[in-house]
Copies of this chain bind each other. A is one copy, B any other.
Amino acid sequence: MNEKIILGHGSGGRMTRDLVRDVFCRHLGDFGPQSMDDGAVLPCEKGELVFTTDSYVVSPLEFPGGDIGTLAVCGTVNDLAVMGARPLWLSLGVILEAGLEIDALERIVKSIAAKAREAGVKIVCGDTKVVEKGKGDGIFINTAGIGVLEHPLTPETIEPGDQIIVSGTVGDHGMALLTLRKGFPLKSDLKSDCAPLNGMISQCLDEAGVKWMRDATRGGVATILNELSEGRPWGVLLEENDIPLSDAVAGVSELLGLDPLYSANEGKVIFVVPRHQAENALKGLKKSAYGKKAAVIGLIVDDFPGKTVLHTQMGTLRTLGILASDPLPRIC
């Protein structure tokens, strides 16, 4: 096999088949496609499916805590899980840039396999395209995912007094990528929180009456909470003192004047639960390695209808708007 990807790997002919067999199918093993057919035949029970898609264009391809393959599995698994679905099957579409080292591709496919195994999902179908050098950026990945809806959410029942919970420290993924990309000589315990959260979420759903949840990816916690509060007759009030931050993220945020509430997460979920079930929700989350630092960070309030407001450490109130543009492109 060539050491680098060349255009012929995207021909649809012999070279494509060899690449699919020797790299994708080999490393994915039991978690990969079981035939070279264009599509997968999947058994289905009567009920409701959830279907989602995400493309991943993160730069650089590998970073502390993960790589684009980790993201491509975790991001789509998490999108299904926060819709109340049990993730089952993923598709895998890759766009390779000619010149990509096959060693790098193998590392990424191994990450995909490892995360698929951890999340308990299968990569059932795929597609490989190649573009000329200078027309892509190493590898872009699309994963679409199918899950079975098991816990339909009830955002229409949200009411003042409901508690806002975050499953752990905030802003890790974005800050890790930022310091890596800018080459800041900062202490290196900053790493992405990228993780498949379906196991953790399922434990929380078993314990608490979750009304709404969302993974706080691009745009961070502030943008996700704005999507929750926008157009509603109630508001979201966050307590800055209660928001979990790692020391590393706190340090970088202060140094660079950046707000971790707008920094992307790839392993954190925001939940809305009834006040009397908040303790149960926390207990459920903390059963998972990914939820050890879960905390109540705010509540639904009668005041500030339609808005998300932060009660700051200084004691002031600050409205958090939705992220308008992008402080850091290609974060995922």
A residues apposed to B, CB below 8 Å = 7-8, 10-16, 36-57, 59, 79-80, 82-83, 85, 89, 91-95, 124-127, 129-132, 134-137, 140, 142, 144-146, 149, 152, 214, 217-219, 223, 227, 264, 322-326, 329-330
Known: A7-B326, A129-B57, A131-B330. A38 touches B82 (CB 8 A): yes
Asked if A326 and B48 make an inter-chain contact with CB atoms under 8 angstroms apart, the answer reads no
Of B39, B124, B137, the residue contacting A131 (CB under 8 A) is: B137
Asked if B325 and A132 make an inter-chain contact with CB atoms under 8 angstroms apart, the answer reads no
Known: A39-B83, A93-B55, A134-B134. A13 touches B324 (CB 8 A): yes
Specify how many copies of this chain sit in the oligomer. Answer: 2
Central interface residue in A47, A48, A89, A131, by most chain B CB within 10 Å? A131
Asked if A52 and B134 make an inter-chain contact with CB atoms under 8 angstroms apart, the answer reads no
Which residues from chain B contact A37 at a C-beta distance below 8 Å? Answer: 83
Which residues from chain B contact A59 at a C-beta distance below 8 Å? Answer: 135
Asked if A125 and B53 make an inter-chain contact with CB atoms under 8 angstroms apart, the answer reads yes
CA distance A132 to B37 in the complex (A): 34
Which residues from chain B contact A51 at a C-beta distance below 8 Å? Answer: 39-40, 42, 89, 91, 124-125, 146
Give, as a whole number of angstroms, the nearest-CB distance from A191 to chain B. 21
